[in-house]
Structure 1
Amino acid sequence: MEVQVQRHSIKVLARSQFQPEQSAPVEGRYAFSYTITIENDGSEPARLLDRHWIITDADGKVQEVRGEGVVGEQPHLKPGERFRYSSGTILPTPVGCMHGSYGMVGDDGTRFDAEIPAFSLASLARLH
């Protein structure tokens, strides 16, 4: 049996954490950090060019963020390689969520988007 690997396949995993020391709930400021792992599961190398985030707070307010690369880098991932980085965001509410996509380009010139699955941002103190 032959298994065919997709040429361009990027897997994105996210983990978030509330940052109480950087938050000021009385002022409507809830800080969250997140760690993203981007893994090339495909058979061709690819470079991350840009990012598009959609951040939604508990009141339904949506903020979109677009920019080049991630944390000042445009990582090039060979098949099987992964890139991990951490960043953060501030919300006016104790809960919210994020999702989006990374604009990628394969070494063959093919442009494609790698989906960033939705993940929650939650202040545990407010959930109990």
Structure 2
Amino acid sequence: MTTALNSGIIISVDSRYEEKFSNPIAKLYLFSYGIRIENKNEGAIQLISRYWKITDSNTHEREVKGEGVIGEKPIIKPGESYTYRSSCDFTTDMGKMSGYYVMKNLESGLNFNVEIPEFSLIVPYKLN
């Protein structure tokens, strides 16, 4: 698990290789990842949008931008957390992801970025 604290928000990430949905012969490697966002601030926040930088082991990069996550723009009250799972496909057996969330402070109305720590996506046999 990868964890980082930024602007009073703790972002924790776990990832796994989805062998059942992958096809190495066709160069399709599917990974899922779980994100937990914990609000350690004194006020409520709302996740507005996300930005991902996705890089495979051939250094091919792609970017993903969009509103919310998995179709939601959750409000996270002080001391609470929000968790979701998503997935990413690669044509290589390993890669990495990093990015940030745009959050809104619901008291001040101001937006701020929260870094998502870089994490690796690696098929288990590469770790032996």
Q: TM-score, normalised by structure 2?
A: 0.91
Paired with 1:127 and 1:28, the residues of 2 have a C-alpha distance of: 19
1:10-46 superposed Cα distances (whole Å, 9 cap, x missing partner):
1111000000011011111100000000010111111
- The answer for unaligned runs of 5 or more in structure 2 is 1-6
Q: Which residue of 2 aligns with 1:118?
A: 118
Q: Which residue of 2 aligns with 1:100?
A: 99
Paired with 2:101 and 2:10, the residues of 1 have a C-alpha distance of: 11
Report the 3-state secondary structure (helix = DSSP H, G, I; strand = E; otherwise coil) of the residue aligned with 2:72.
coil
Query: Could you tell me which amino acid in structure 2 is paired with residue 49 of structure 1?
Result: I
Query: Could you tell me which amino acid in structure 2 is paired with residue 111 of structure 1?
Result: N
Paired with 1:22 and 1:122, the residues of 2 have a C-alpha distance of: 15
Q: Name the count of aligned residue pairs.
A: 121
Superposition RMSD on alpha carbons, in Å?
0.9
Paired with 1:113 and 1:39, the residues of 2 have a C-alpha distance of: 14
- The answer for unaligned runs of 5 or more in structure 1 is 1-7
Q: Which residue of 2 aligns with 1:83?
A: 82
Q: TM-score, normalised by structure 1?
A: 0.91
Q: Which residue of 2 aligns with 1:5?
A: none
Percent identity for Structure 1 against Structure 2: 40
Paired with 1:84 and 1:67, the residues of 2 have a C-alpha distance of: 18
Q: Which residue of 2 aligns with 1:33?
A: 32
Structure showing greater radius of gyration is 1
Matched, 1:63 2:62: yes
